[in-house]
Amino acid sequence: MKIILIRHGETEYNRRHLFYGKTDISLNDTGVQQAYLLNEKLAGMRLEVPIYTSSLKRTIETAELIFPDQKKISLNELDEKDFGLWEGLSADQINERFPEEWEKWLISPFEVTPANAEKFSDFQQRVLACLEVMLQKKQDFVIVGHLGVLRVILKDWFPEYEFWEIALDQGNYTLIEVGESTTKVIEWNK
């Protein structure tokens, strides 16, 4: 089975380095251009496969621009982690407003949950459960997703990777081959 992982195009929140997960924001002009360029990169591949996105605009818009003539399936389970009261804030703003919580989170980001946010373990579980359903269909597919979602998937497949060091640029794709007993990277961030 071949799986293509695509990170959504840039938004203004990405450009401004703000924390956001569930905040539903559209692509900016750069994000639109990234999606068009990826459409050109993938034009040579005949992709007649399911295209999965989250329920958030930035993934849906990216998928529409890359795969305009294909049906997309939007799933809440592929939504980015909810950062609660930190949504829309920069690291400096979070540190200013929630200094103790910020320090604890920096030390243990997988165990400490910001106020009103989703626990990392719940986020991870929902993404991997959704992925398992897709894999059980035993067919190739594409996920146009969020950085956190794609990191959870790649960390599960490749436990030797450090979660925060998994780099997935916007406007690129990663091609993975999943076999019965092995999973391997065919192309990374092309």
- Catalytically active residues are 8, 80
User: Is 14 known as a binding-site position?
Assistant: yes
Question: What is the DSSP pairing of strand 2-7 with strand 173-178?
Answer: antiparallel
Q: Which of 9, 19, 20, 105 is nearest to 62 (CA)?
A: 9
User: Is 11 known as a binding-site position?
Assistant: yes
User: Is 8 known as a binding-site position?
Assistant: yes
User: Is 10 known as a binding-site position?
Assistant: yes
| Residue in this structure with the two tokens 């009103």, named with its chain if needed | 116
Token code pair at residue 122: 């719940």
- Count the residues in the chain: 190
Beta bridge partners of 142: 4, 51
Instruction: Write the CB contacts of 69 (distance below 8 Å, at least 6 apart in sequence).
Output: none
Strand locations in the chain, DSSP E?
2-7, 51-53, 72-74, 141-145, 173-178, 183-187
Q: Which of 100, 132, 105 is nearest to 117 (CA)?
A: 105
User: Is 13 known as a binding-site position?
Assistant: yes
User: Is 182 known as a binding-site position?
Assistant: no
| Residue in this structure with the two tokens 């924001």, named with its chain if needed | 25
Distance CA 62, CA 144 (A): 7
Binding-site sequence positions:
7-14, 58
Binding-site sequence positions for substrate:
7-14, 58
